[in-house]
Amino acid sequence: MIVFNYESDFKLENETKTSDWIQTCIKKEGFELGELNYIFCNDEYLHKINVEFLNHDTLTDIISFDYTLGKLVGGDIFVSVERVEDNAKDFNVSFESELHRVIIHGVLHYMKYKDKTEEEKEIMRSKENECLELLNQ
């Protein structure tokens, strides 16, 4: 089950399409959907979580709490819509494209993809791109 929660004025345009897409990406990687909660918020909201739970006094676009058990993907994914907007401008991509990249990025972490080293970042970016292609089909 995928639940979308909103702590700001932002709302996804098509929750059903987004949910179906996320499930397709999960299945493609050989995993099953457990319970995913997306919480869309602003910088202030996410910064507070970053400080309180991770001891990081920085802004970020996403924080995820992984509850995956084996092949059953689950977790809470907090997304700062403000950071996504700024990053889209910085990367010269559409807001929707950057939003979808962030949405699937958290799930890919739950499926054991990392992004600490350059090699891991390349693999993560490749997986993000594969999933983004599925969204546009």
Tokens standing for residue 9:
């004025």
Q: Is 109 annotated as a binding residue?
A: yes
Contact 61, 87 (CB under 8 A): yes
Three-class DSSP category at 51: helix
Strand 32-41 with 2-6, pairing: parallel
Q: Is 47 annotated as a binding residue?
A: no
In whole angstroms, what is the distance from residue 86 CA to residue 88 CA? Answer: 5
Q: Is 115 annotated as a binding residue?
A: yes
Give the list of residues 6+ apart from residue 20 with CB closer than 8 angstroms, or none.
none
In whole angstroms, what is the distance from residue 73 CA to residue 110 CA? Answer: 6
In whole angstroms, what is the distance from residue 46 CA to residue 112 CA? Answer: 23
Residues belonging to the binding site for Zn(2+) are: 105, 109, 115
Residues belonging to the binding site are: 105, 109, 115
